[in-house]
Structure 1
């Protein structure tokens, strides 16, 4: 028994719990181990010489000797404290002597040993579950993993994971085991990627579970690891996540290049290390790509690239670069036939024709690639190429099928973007053809108009501006915004602009003009298809500026107020009560009149400009006013195009989500000496006075050659006013590039031009006016009307020749 006293010097073992005793042939105790003392509490001095049967809780069966009655079985033994302990008891004969060896162990400990051994045998016999018993140094003590278990390397007994795995994978796995060994917290179902230099190009994904093993005293003795091959499940989950990401990202933009970029961003680094998309050059413009077969000039341009490290090598073909002529290779034929092409032979990957092409199209360290066509609605739009350089495993058929599936869906998104580009381009072209000249220069004002179409899927929304010359040197400024998007909105804009121009020729007051346009919109809504009723409405602001009085009268149909930049650099927001948008009907439009100093800048805009600054229209307008006030030097003498660029700073890029129309007008004033005004009572005798006053004024201006025709015009207009309208009668001459004669009376009767018969005594007055002037007309004010006639200063003789 002396050897047992030295067991503390050896590592802890399950044998330390095995109680032993030496018995004589009659069953008396001759020797007693310390483990027996620990088990039953009796010391050797207390039990030696005593029958072993005296320690049993129940006497042995009658007729059997104590020494032979306890050879094997479970029994209960007395503890020195009086309690009983269930043990597994064995008595064995020793060869060459008469003594017997008695062995006992706690029943629950023996059950643990037996169950543990059975469980270990069952696990080690599995071929679908790998088990590894690792010691404290993580070296393998036992394992059932062989090269045939998972088709990969096996860790030999006594070896470590780093001997069969790539360093990075081994480091991750052993870090998890060390954590379990140190903390005792098990790992359950951790995903672990494993690659081995012994089988290059292969990759496994295991579900790893690990628990710490402990001895009877709770000290760690190693780690038990269970491996379950989850490669198929991992690939299925990866493919599902990739499909979900592709469906969530690809197609969110209606820009061709951005859609192509989304495609490569999905594929890299999930499936490969580098990728690019090449599209037919016609696709970028929204046109259908040409049909190409074989090699040659493929009419392709690189639309998007992506790499796992974020850097695109300078030696490869760069984004937006045109694809050079290509030889007739199998990959080209495969793509043109709508098939996915895969090449996983490193010795063939670089064979793309000349070395120059290889440098442009084969990434460094590339060993496998897959190419798929972007084929949609019968059109070959382009292709995508995906390469593996750092990932060691080659593309397999499952990878190719997945790339083909994602690419086929992306092709529809690319084609949608192409078709949108075509429609957007057509709408923009139509919109711009319907808009007036961007720059005008008239006696009343110089103007600059800017139009930015919406992009990013919003579509053209029908914003417009207009500058309409009016009689008597006046000018009308118009800005409007049609509800809806696309060609329908553009068509509606064209109809409304034409209507405003037509009504402007009638010289209506701004509020009256908007009332007529509102009626027109109501009719258009009634005539429209029910599906397009919501795209008929619009907002509009109409302003008329008179350079003689420097007064501007405007009215709004739901449109935001204009801004005025005064000559001193201060910005004024025109306050008024806008009426309802066009198409609502039944509500009046209130005009407002303001005085504009010469050199003031009137800024009219659509809400796309203020919304770009801030979603709150008031905040957006305040920010626009601040930017207008912050012009260089605080002066409004800047060129109008520079003012426009300053107001639109930050709008492009990216393009706005809504159309932006901006009209800037710098007002002018007619010199006071260029006008003359008289007022006469309703007396026929004043006609002579009117002619005399006109003659004197024309002499002062040096326009003696126009006296005869002007006298006739004034005589006829004043006479008609006195005869049919009463007094007072106002007469005004305006001299600019043309000579304008205006006669104002208090009547609202519409003057009509008619051809008098030979026997008629009158009715020839307006006919003479029409013949003597280049154009004439009338307009109505709050009280009365004004009839005007315009003569070119260099063509009076030609006008008079009509009468000769």
Structure 2
């Protein structure tokens, strides 16, 4: 361990501390003996009493050679004494001395000549027990060897936290030489925030005397900013025999390997949690945009500072990867950053279309199906990850230093790209990050592809559904009609809901609303068959119950579907309404005075059950009255009782409204949730007078 290099104020500090006794001197028990020029003992210290066994009274005035030496050693001792007194050169070494108890002890001497103001010479002998001295020397040698060769860092700092001693291991850890440590403060040798807290801890140990063991300090390694080094620091206050603080002993162990291994294990655990969590967080809906946003939410901030999810536009429009020799056209689906940053302006906003240049990482991904990992982004690499020069400038200003692009592959087909970047996160993407990103992309790509497939099937079914629905004439004899169809907006496909308004002989009009149980193209197809059959049966002039009976037989011969239906025939000449129901929710009659009521009709069984007769009910429908027919998607929810929802329907119909078109829109807005899981058919018919009046309504 290197010795202290005194600073300018060390002498003053030593003077102020000079009154403190030295434990080392006490341990050695140094005895002092003063001899006159003829060899007589003139002075005798108390420590000499212990070392030689003679008291001051017994020793002073005696010849030292006769008192302390055996005859065989006297001649040699007298010769050494004469040489010191004659030449003035000191002598040091071990010499056997006779103790008062008769035994012989080996004593370490330091002999020197002293001269007083008269020019007379004296001999001063300083002596210590040889065995005690050797024991102490061995301990010091062992300590010095351990300190200098120990693989752990050791240092001693004074009360001002200046380095007094440093061993080679600590100098190597700090990459600062031993000499450059000495006399400098801890914070001067090791500047920076991680070490500022360690310095505060040192001062606390000085104040309290309570040691701190294995305090972890982590700092960036000087040879690689992305790497970190870790040390376990133990601090102990050094005290004298009176308990006064002398400084700090600092024991430092380099635990970088252990720290990195633990950090790697933590990252592995984090990746496992991320993968496990992604399965629950990605693909919760069958909406393409939502699924892409869910992927972005998983990636940021745990894996990247910013992410963009782009899908090939051909996949969205046709369901296939098809760009031929032309540049691939991407549609941005999701963008997310971990914090507000100008780099977000460099990323394609959701909904936009673009074709990246040939050297762009996204282009490489869709052409090769391979990911692109740019560990350290340089000036040339920025252009590879940016759409254009302006975007490259923004990414560089934001400090993007690492980039990763991963293809989205589902069922062996490349459908898009996920691009990630790091700026504030100082660690570059590595192979582990690449493996995790590919795992997340693979899972998410399948969910996105399922959503795309669902979107295409749904679009097909919705198109089929709409083509099968009638184009209404706004006015029929004695009636004003308004209708709406809304497909399902959530997980389910479009269903088999339909409405129809069929002109009949004699100014009569058939009003129909039905719901095929099920969803998708098969339900829409079954709905089309039922609507065709209903139109054909209507021309036969049958009453509503007979119509439903025939439809019940027809649907039993189709796919195994059930359907509910309400069928009504209105005759404006006598203002009569004949109506029958097959398992459908009750229609609402809103009277001309604005009072709505649920019609109490025989409910009947759904079409397709068979064997149960239907009943026709006759009602008055006078000018100004409104008949509201609807399917269950308007009122049924997963959380509310149906009676409550029917009351809500009546409440929504209560306000007066001159337009039945507005009434349709208000009902859909107030009663139907934006993400409803069922489709809706709604039909409102308001009665008007013909040229002749309706029969008077009975009192």
Give the conservation status (yes or no) of the 8 Å contact 2:335–2:347: no
Give the aligned partner of residue 433 of structure 2: 399
Aligned to 1:635: 656
Q: Is the contact made by 1:566 and 1:636 (CA closer than 8 Å) also made in structure 2?
A: no
Which residues of structure 1 form unaligned runs of 5+? 1-5, 31-64, 70-90, 104-116, 677-804
| Pairing partner for 1:321 from 329, 346, 352 | 352
Match of 1:306 in 2: 336
- Note if contact 1:273-1:388 (Cα within 8 Å) is conserved in structure 2: yes
> Which of 644, 647, 670 in structure 2 is aligned with 1:619?
644
* 1:165-204 mapped onto 2 (5 Å cutoff): 167=193, 195=220, 198-199=222-223, 201-204=225-228
**Alpha-carbon distance between aligned partners in 1 of 2:533 and 2:359, rounded to the nearest angstrom:** 59
**Distance change >3 Å, CA 215–CA 233, structure 1 → 2:** same
1:53 is aligned to: none
Structure 1 residue 186, shift from structure 2 partner: 12
User: Structure 1 330/637 Cα, relative in aligned 2: closer, same or farther at 3 Å?
Assistant: closer
For 1:299-698, what aligned pairs fall within 5 Å after superposition? Answer: 299-310=329-340, 313-314=344-345, 316-324=347-355, 326-328=357-359, 332-343=363-374, 344-352=376-384, 355-356=389-390, 358=392, 364-438=398-472, 440-524=474-558, 528=559, 533=560, 536-611=561-636, 615-629=640-654, 634-638=655-659, 640-649=660-669, 654-672=674-692
What displacement does 1:431 show? 0.9
Q: Deviations over 1:214-252 (max 9, x none)?
A: 8999x9989988753122112212222222233222222
Q: Is the 8 A contact 1:275 1:306 kept in 2?
A: yes
For residue 137 of structure 2, what is the aligned residue in structure 1?
Answer: none
Give TM-score scaled by structure 2 length: 0.67
The change in CA–CA distance for 1:507 and 1:419 in structure 2 (over 3 A counts) is same
Query: How far 1:307 moved relative to its partner?
Result: 0.9
In the TM superposition, what whole-angstrom CA distance separates every residue of 1:770-790 from its partner, at most 9, and x where no partner exists? xxxxxxxxxxxxxxxxxxxxx
Structure 2 CA distance for aligned equivalents of residues 18 and 318 of structure 1: 80
Secondary structure of the residue that 1:611 maps to in structure 2? coil
CA distance, structure 2, for counterparts of residue 421 and residue 245 of structure 1: 25
**Please, which of 235, 259, 262 is the counterpart of residue 267 of structure 2?**
235
Q: Does 1:289 align with 2:321?
A: yes
Once the two structures are superposed, residues 637-678 of structure 1 have per-residue CA deviations (whole angstroms, 9 ceiling, x without a partner) of 12x3222221122688844221122222222243435999xx
> Whole-Å Cα distance in 2 between the matches of residues 139 and 627 of structure 1?
83
Q: Distance in 2 between matches of 1:210 and 1:476?
A: 90
- Corresponding position of 1:768: none
Distance 1:272 1:501, change over 3 A: same
Determine if contact 1:180/1:223 at 8 Å carries over to the other structure: no
Offset at residue 270 of structure 1 (A): 1.8
How far residue 175 of structure 1 moved from its aligned partner, in angstroms, is: 9.3
1: CA distance, partners of 2:274 / 2:217: 19
Question: Aligned residue for 1:79?
Answer: none
8 Å CA contact 2:181–2:189 kept in 1: the answer is: no
CA–CA distance in 1 between the matches of 2:263 and 2:650? 62
Partner of 1:264: 296
8 Å contact kept, 1:370–1:400: yes
Question: Please, which of 277, 281, 303 is the counterpart of residue 249 of structure 1?
Answer: 281
In structure 2, C-alpha distance between the alignment counterparts of 1:149 and 1:210, rounded to whole Å: 12
Are 2:292 and 2:334, in contact at CA under 8 Å, matched by a contact in 1?
yes
Q: Aligned equivalents of 2:28 and 2:611: distance in 1?
A: 108
**In the superposition, relative to structure 1, how do residues 193 and 405 fare at CA in structure 2: closer, same or farther (>3 Å)?**
farther
Measured in 2, the distance between the counterparts of 1:179 and 1:611 equals 69
Structure 1 contact 567–635 (Cα < 8 Å) conserved: no
Q: Does the 8 Å contact 2:458/2:493 carry over to 1?
A: yes
CA distance in 1, matches of 2:209, 2:484: 72
RMSD, aligned CA = 5.2
Q: Secondary structure at the match of 1:618?
A: helix
Distance in 2 (alpha carbons) for counterparts of 1:179 and 1:581: 83
Supply the distance in 2 between the matched residues of 1:590 and 1:134 (Cα, whole angstroms): 103
TM-score by length of 1: 0.59
In structure 2, how many angstroms separate the alpha carbons of the residues matched to 1:68 and 1:566? 138
Note the C-alpha offset of 1:100. Answer: 7.4
Shift of 1:559: 2.0
Q: Distance in 1 between matches of 2:317 and 2:421?
A: 28
Q: 1:178 to 1:441 in 2, by over 3 A?
A: farther
1:514: how far off? 2.8
**Alignment size in residue pairs:** 581
* CA positional deviation for 1:327: 4.1
Aligned-partner Cα distance in 2 for 1:184–1:628: 82
Structure 2 regions of 5+ residues with no counterpart? 1-15, 30-45, 57-98, 110-124, 133-142
Judging changes above 3 Å, is the alpha-carbon distance between structure 1 residues 172 and 471 closer, same or farther for their aligned structure 2 residues? farther
Instruction: Report the counterpart of residue 61 of structure 2 in structure 1.
Output: none
Q: d(CA) in 1 for partners of 2:556 and 2:292?
A: 44
Q: Describe the SS at the equivalent of 1:270.
A: coil
Q: 1:233 to 1:188 in 2, by over 3 A?
A: farther
